[in-house]
Structure formats: C-alpha cells, structure tokens
C-alpha cells in the first residue's frame, strides 16, 4: 500500500478519495458544478493514480504539483482556485 508523506513529515495511507475531494472542492470554488466537470475530475485523478502507481512513499507536494500541472493545462480557473485556497489556508 502506498503512503503519502505530508508537509510536516508524517505518513498516512494513500487515499484516492482525498484527491477527488480536493479536485471537487477546487471545481466548486472556481464556480463550476462537480457534475459539470465530473469527467475531467475522473480523467485527472486517473492520470495522477497511474503516475504514482509504482511508487512507494509519495510526497504530498509531488501529488499537488502534478494535479496543478494537469489543471493548468486543461482548466486554469480550477488551478487558480486551488492555489487561492492554498494561499489562504496553508501558507506558513
């Protein structure tokens, strides 16, 4: 089972629902409905899952950067929403 290494160094099991949940939240914050972007969310999740499927421990920052790269390419407004959330709630 894959683990995710969080920002503070602690590990937790890889939970695909967290990735989908984060994508859904950013989608809503960008002004879209989840239903409207459901196919996109699934597509991005699948790409990320395949990218890391043979990895052992994965840094959460690597997952985040891959997600944002995918979003920048296909839905920049959702990527901006994600970054705005990070600035507001996760800045040091």
The average confidence (pLDDT) of the chain is 89
- List the structure tokens of 29: 């914050």
Residue 54: the pLDDT is: 84
Angstrom CA distances, 45 to 6, 17, 21, 52, stand at 19, 10, 10, 11
Residue 16: the pLDDT is: 83
Strand order in the sheet with 57-59: 11-13, 3-5, 57-59
pLDDT tens column, 28-70? 999 999 999 999 999 998 988 888 888 889 999 999 999 999 9
Bigger pLDDT: 86 vs 82: 82
Q: pTM of the prediction?
A: 0.84
Measured distance CA(85)–CA(74) in Å, rounded: 19
Residues 6+ apart with CB under 8 A from 75: 30, 37, 40
């Amino acid at each position: 089972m894959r683990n995710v290494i969080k920002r503070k160094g602690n590990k937790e099991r890889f939970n695909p629902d967290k990735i989908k949940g984060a994508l859904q939240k950013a989608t809503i914050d960008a002004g879209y409905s989840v239903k409207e972007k459901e196919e996109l969310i699934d597509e991005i999740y699948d790409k990320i899952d395949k990218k890391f499927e043979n990895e052992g421990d994965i840094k959460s920052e690597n997952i985040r950067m891959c997600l944002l790269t995918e979003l920048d390419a296909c839905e920049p407004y959702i990527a901006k929403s994600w970054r705005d959330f990070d600035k507001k709630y996760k800045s040091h």
